[in-house]
Amino acid sequence: MKRKSIFVTEVFTSIQGESTWAGYPCFFIRLSGCNLRCRYCDSKHSYPQGRKTPISALIMKFAASSAAIAEITGGEPLAQAGFQELALGLRDRGGGRPVLVETNGSQNISAVPDGVIVVMDMKCPDSGESAKMDLGNLNRLRPYDEVKFVISSRRDFVWARRMVVKHDLPGRCHAVLFSPAHERVSAATLASWVLDSGMPVRVQVQLHKVVGLP
């Protein structure tokens, strides 16, 4: 059944700060509501139910935007019934521009339409939410999807390294990203761990925060 509206926390244009698409001007749609409560969450303002917004209006705004890409984020986008309709509309009406969805890893990513790029978090132990991951998603990744681990400690790094190796993540998807949790692990420390490990993963900082944008 098609949905006419979806609950939105905010719509804005900024520099994409994460994933291999970092640096591009991006049209963000932040949907409201999240089923997780990660210790390092920087989007707590998206927890309450946001504004009920026509899906067609969001699609039209992206179609009229000059941003190079679009991203549906949250909160947790896949938890909303209108997500598929929104993702399809952005994909089909965006003039061929890439559409990303950032998801927390607890929801079945097979709901993401073909051609829409998944950037999926794998919550490490120190997030407090790793037990809620849908590990079946690791078998659902497509060659153009990406996986992100936010690292808060050496324990998180060891756990993430084990997941990368056990599930052959570099062979399953386009990129595996390791990001330092803000004020918990420095980028330099994480980089040294990755170098010592020899894993083919990318160390990434939140570029939008470096340049001082939302």
- Look-up of token digits 């509309």: 89
Phi then psi for residue 110, to 5 deg, are: -65, -10
- What pLDDT digit, counting tens, does each position of 5-21 carry? 999 999 999 999 999 99
Which of 35-39, 145-149, 183-187 reaches the highest mean pLDDT? 145-149
Give the other-Cβ count within 10 Å of 18's Cβ: 23
What's the structural domain count of the chain? 1
User: Rounded to two decimals, what is the model's pTM?
Assistant: 0.94
Q: Which domain holds residue 189?
A: 5-210
At residue 126 the predicted structure's pLDDT band, cuts being 50, 70 and 90, is: very high
The span from the CA of 121 to the CA of 134, in Å, is 11
The span from the CA of 214 to the CA of 1, in Å, is 34
- What pLDDT digit, counting tens, does each position of 69-94 carry? 999 999 999 999 999 999 999 999 99
Query: Which CATH number fits the domain that encloses residue 118?
Result: 3.20.20.70
Structure tokens at 171: 């062979």
At residue 213 the predicted structure's pLDDT band, cuts being 50, 70 and 90, is: low
- Look-up of token digits 């998206």: 46
Residue 126, sorted as left (phi over 0), alpha (psi -120 to 50) or beta, turns out to be: alpha
The span from the CA of 140 to the CA of 118, in Å, is 10
